[in-house]
A and B are shown apart, each in its own frame.
Chain A
Amino acid sequence: EAGVAQSPRYKIIEKRQSVAFWCNPISGHATLYWYQQILGQGPKLLIQFQNNGVVDDSQLPKDRFSAERLKGVDSTLKIQPAKLEDSAVYLCASSPGTPRYEQYFGPGTRLTVT
C-alpha cells in the first residue's frame, strides 16, 4: 500500500513570496489533515478535510494560508505572502475516518523563509 505522498520535500523562499504544497493521501482515506510543525514542537493542526469538505480550520491563519481538496482526494496548501515565522515542516496526514483512528503521515515539506 502506497503511503501519503508530499511534494516538494524542501522549499526555500523569501518573505512575502508565495508557496504551495501538494499532498496525495492513501487511497480510500476520507479524512486529510495539514499540520505545521515548528522546530522543537509537536505538530499543530492547520486544517482537516472530510472528503472535500472542511471540518476544522480554526487554527489556519486565513489571511495568508489557504487549502483545498478537490474531488476529495489530493490537497494543496498555499501560503501567500509568507512570513519568517512560517518556517516549519508542513505535514500532511490521512486516516480512514476521524481522529478516532490512527493517522498516516507523509514525509513533510521543510519550508525555510528568508
Chain B
Amino acid sequence: EPEVTQTPSHQVTQMGQEVILRCVPISNHLYFYWYRQILGQKVEFLVSFYNNEISEKSEIFDDQFSVERPDGSNFTLKIRSTKLEDSAMYFCASSGLPTRPQETQYFGPGTRLLVL
C-alpha cells in the first residue's frame, strides 16, 4: 500500500542553524501539507501546497519557514534559523487524487526535531 515517507526520522541541531526536512508524498497525490506536534500538544497545521505554490498557511508559518517541491517526488520544509521552540515532531501529509480532489490526508511517520 502506498505511503508517505519522511527523512530523517530524527534531527538534532543547534539554535540558529538551518534544517531541511524531507518528505516523499504518495505518488499521484496533488495536495501536500506540513503539520507539527509539540510534545504533549495538539497536531497543528503549518502549510498546504498545491500546483507548486502555497495554498494556505498558518500564523506559525512565518518568514523562517519555506516549502518546496524541487522535483516530481520530494516535498521539503526548510527552517532557516531554528529556535528552541521549533523543537517538535513534524509530519508531512498528502491527499487528492486527480479525480477525487477532496480526499483524506495520509500522514508520514514524522521527523522529530530537537533544537539545542
To the question of whether A and B form a pair in one complex, the answer is no
